[in-house]
Amino acid sequence: MMSDQNYTTSFTVDQTPEDVFAAINNVRGWWSGEIEGSTDKLGDEFTYRYEEAHRSTHKITEFVPGKKVVWHTTDSHINFVKDKTEWKGTDIVFEIARKGNQTELRFTHIGLVPAIQCYGDCSGAWGFYINECLHSLITTGKGQPEEKEKGDGEKVSL
């Protein structure tokens, strides 16, 4: 099935679903680059830009407190691949579920599949931003994506 190929990652934390939900919507706290527009209610649209490499516009199409957030990518320009619009029409999905006394966050980028050119770079970068930066924002209150990028000498960017 094609849908199984979408990039996905998940982790579990001790914080509440509400804490996880709040951290996701504090996009500037965990995703580096310039973000214009608001990112914390249904219907919001925001643009993400990382230097000259990447620009994308996202509309929040689902917003269920403590449970789910979906960003629909309405436009994208990824400079380092042939098809600059690879993300256009894709959905970035955050699903939150209570697992015993913990909370699981599952992240899926629907449409980010191995067949597209940026899959390797983009999935690696998402892995970093979600599993490192967002996880850190949830568990410590600090996401610091820019500091983390500089910290290990390797530059990871979307």
Amino acid at 140: T
CATH number of the structural domain spanning residue 98: 3.30.530.20
Is residue 157 in some structural domain? Answer: no
* pTM above threshold 0.85: yes
Q: Give the residue numbers spanning the domain of 44.
A: 2-150
Our CA angle for 65, 66, 72, nearest 5°, is 60
Number of structural domains in the chain: 1
* Per-residue pLDDT tens digits for 73-111: 999 999 999 999 999 999 999 999 999 999 999 999 999
103 contacts 12 by C-beta, under 8 angstroms: yes
Between the alpha carbon of residue 127 and those of residues 36, 42, 64, 107, 134, the distances in Å are: 23, 25, 23, 9, 10
Per the prediction, the chain carries an average pLDDT of 92
Is residue 156 in some structural domain? Answer: no
SS (H, E, C) 39-95: CCCCCCEEEEEECCCEEEEEEEEEEECCCEEEEEEEEEEECCCCCCCCCCCCEEEEE
Is residue 155 in some structural domain? Answer: no
C-alpha–C-alpha distance, residues 25 and 20, integer Å = 9
pLDDT at 154 over 90: no
Residue with tokens 């892995």: 127
* Per-residue pLDDT tens digits for 31-56: 988 999 999 999 999 999 998 899 99
Residue with tokens 């527009």: 37
Is residue 33 in some structural domain? Answer: yes
6 contacts 109 by C-beta, under 8 angstroms: yes
